[in-house]
Chain A
Amino acid sequence: MSGDNKQSNYSIIIEEGKEDQTLQREIRLARNIQMKLLNGSDPEIDHTSLAGTSLPARLIGGDYYDFYKLSDNKIRVVIGDVMGKGIPAAMLMILTRGAFRSASENTQGPAETLTAMNNAIYRDLKQLKSFVTLFCCDWDVEHNTITYANAGHVLPMHIKEKGVESLETVSGIMLGGLPNQAYEEKSISIDHGETVFFYTDGIVEAQNGKGEFYQTERLRNLLQELYGNEVSEIEEAVSDSLFQFTQGEAQKDDITMVILQNDDPNSAIQGYNSPINT
């Protein structure tokens, strides 16, 4: 090998090193953007507690949740999961976020929102061979009801004094599965002191060193024990339980939870981070 070649190879290695550093920096910036968009301020609502948190398995992830203020003391809540992990999923998560905010401005209910979102991003998802699961609901503060629709997402759990049960099934497929989809809508009452726990499958599919899954039943039992606790306490208890179960095993999937609790019948939305629909 000649001296010139050595020089040339050395230059290439230096350039590759710079590229790695640039890539790492850009990934960190992307993570910051995503975490700020995702984990913004939780809405402040009189006598209603609402909080969300998301922890990606990698530097950035494909889980998503959001809140959007509606008129008439209602707030729209969405939680979702983009197929895959890491940077590709994060890019599609941002696409989903834009579709949700745009659809929420122009639609009347969660079912209509999911239909509008599917119409908006179906072709992109099909082309990219991906899909998104989403659960969307409107929390009516005055009437203590949740009206919901589902696009292939795991159903939230309703924590009541008598027990914990998944919300009743509504028909609806993932976004990106088929075009022109209609989504079924149902409503339930959330009485005072009751809580709705929204989540992504990263919780129940968390694994310990033996390869065992956390599983839905373990989550259900834990949530039953937590009836009467505040939202922050529930969030912390679920996180602690996951940590104890996995015993430091690497997190394989993004983990996201949103917790909504009805504290009082006369609640009213005061203001929060989401755009205001006037």
Chain B
Amino acid sequence: MSLEIKKLNTDQGDYELVLSGVLDISTRSTFDEVFDSLVDLQSLKLNLEELEFIDSTGVGGIMEIIFASNERGFQLTVLNINDNIEEILSTLGVFTIMESLQVERCST
């Protein structure tokens, strides 16, 4: 199983990453490379609607972006978290961390 990332550049520095497939130890480097390629990042929407599976390494990738948004000052919104992924992120406490760091979470 693989990870596909659709990169949408809506405006200068404004991006949306649409993830589909699997974000795990085998695909994490792809995820990191795409994130690192975002130039002059001002705002990022992370769309998880089509993400089928995530393991702890994948969650670590999302956590890094959450912390990066706080440290580098770009706006982060996590969009369309499906039920499977929601349960995993909720158990781990990712939403509590997002609230603490004022990361937005919404559905489109």
Query: Quick one: which of B1, B63, B93 contacts A172, CB cutoff 8 A?
Result: B93
Chain B residue at minimum C-beta to C-beta distance from A130: B60
Interface size of B as a range: 10 to 19
Q: Report the separation of the CA atoms of residues A173 and B94 in the bound assembly, to the nearest whole angstrom.
A: 7
Q: Report the separation of the CA atoms of residues A174 and B97 in the bound assembly, to the nearest whole angstrom.
A: 10
B65 to chain A minimum Cβ distance, whole angstroms, is: 11
Chain A residues proximal to chain B, CB less than 8 Å: 81-85, 126, 129-131, 133, 151-155, 171-174, 177-178, 201, 205, 211, 213, 253
- Majority-rule SS of B interface residues: helix
| Chain A residues within 8 Å of B30, by CB | none
Q: Report the separation of the CA atoms of residues A155 and B67 in the bound assembly, to the nearest whole angstrom.
A: 26
Within 8 A of A (CB), among B70-108: 91-94, 96-97, 100
Q: Report the separation of the CA atoms of residues A62 and B64 in the bound assembly, to the nearest whole angstrom.
A: 20
Within 8 A of A (CB), among B32-85: 53, 55-57, 59-60, 63-64, 67
Best-buried of A153, A173, A178, A253 by chain B (most CB within 10 Å): A173
Chain B residues proximal to chain A, CB less than 8 Å: 1, 25, 53, 55-57, 59-60, 63-64, 67, 91-94, 96-97, 100
Chain A residue at minimum C-beta to C-beta distance from B100: A178
Chain B residue at minimum C-beta to C-beta distance from A129: B64
Chain B residue at minimum C-beta to C-beta distance from A175: B93
Best-buried of A84, A153, A177, A211 by chain B (most CB within 10 Å): A177
Q: Report the separation of the CA atoms of residues A178 and B93 in the bound assembly, to the nearest whole angstrom.
A: 10
| Chain A residues within 8 Å of B97, by CB | 173, 177-178
**Are A211 and B1 in contact (CB-based, < 8 A)?**
yes
A251 to chain B minimum Cβ distance, whole angstroms, is: 13
B100 to chain A minimum Cβ distance, whole angstroms, is: 6
